[in-house]
Amino acid sequence: MAKKRKYYVVWEGRRPGIYNNWAECKAQIDAFPDAKYRSYSTEEEAEKAYLLGFYASMPSDSSQTKAKKSSSAKAKIKKRQIPNSEIITNSICVDAACSGNPGVMEYRGVYTHNHEEIFRKGPYPLGTNNIGEFLGIVYAIALLKKNKHFDTAIYTDSRTAMAWVRKKKANTKLFEKYQNPALEEIVIKAEQWLKNNSYTNPIVKWETKLWGEIPADFGRK
């Protein structure tokens, strides 16, 4: 009987993401401080768990056990507070801002260490925050590849955008509801770029609860 495939979700490791074999998963977590990962039987379960996050994806337990885990997690976060040593110095951050949903949208990228702006795109009418986050990541990847910065990490606070980049497809219904050919063309080009290019830059989730707002934040909340 063939061995059943497993899918491994890495929330905290060298390169967070979903892996379909243990060797690749192990490479991300081996000797990595406080690595967070778990295996799943199907890709669908893994995708759902990855988007939910490590703690939210834990199996259901009794109320008492849940309370203990929640208390332990909160205590751990409180103890860690802002662990600047965990933030990758060689990195850039991307973020998007959208006035309404949909609404006027723009996105930008900055250096993580000094918040210096590297690029800013938009504003575009009738966009969404997820689309902006997706385009920001793709633009950053392409820019880093062009400049041969193959190891520079990219931080984003959007798990949805990370999933879209991983699948090389922006899973948005916006263009079915609204006519916006200019922005739709940009999204299509971004998807095509991902399909036609490879990259090694880690795409990393920015932990807002621990580190505060992402440095690329537009400050409009």
pLDDT, tens digit (0-9, with 9 covering 90-100), for 75-119: 443 433 434 557 888 999 999 998 877 889 999 999 999 999 999
Task: Supply the pLDDT for residue 196.
Answer: 97
Q: CB-hemisphere CA count at 13 Å for 119?
A: 19
Nearest Cα neighbor of 134 from 177, 188, 196, 178 is 188
Query: What is the reported pLDDT for 214?
Result: 95
Ramachandran category for residue 150: left, alpha or beta (phi over 0 → left; psi -120 to 50 → alpha)? alpha
- Residue 84: what pLDDT? 57
Place of tokens 């036609």: 196
- pLDDT value of residue 3: 65
pLDDT of residue 82: 39
pLDDT band at residue 132 using 50, 70 and 90 as cut-offs: very high
Give the closest residue to 93 by CA, choosing from 32, 26, 46, 161: 161
- DSSP secondary structure letter of residue 162: H
Average pLDDT over residues 109-136: 93
Using alpha carbons, select from 41, 70, 43, 42 the residue that is nearest to residue 58: 70
Token readout for 140 is 């950053």
pLDDT at residue 221 is higher than 80: no
- Nearest to 202, CA basis, from 160, 126, 149, 164: 149
DSSP three-state, residue 111: strand
**Do 203 and 165 form a contact (C-beta atoms < 8 A)?**
yes
The confidence band for 74, taking pLDDT boundaries of 50, 70 and 90, is: very low
| pLDDT > 70 in the chain, percent | 85
Distance CA 187, CA 172 (A): 10
- pLDDT band at 14; cut points 50, 70, 90: confident
The mean pLDDT of 156-167, rounded to a whole number, is 96
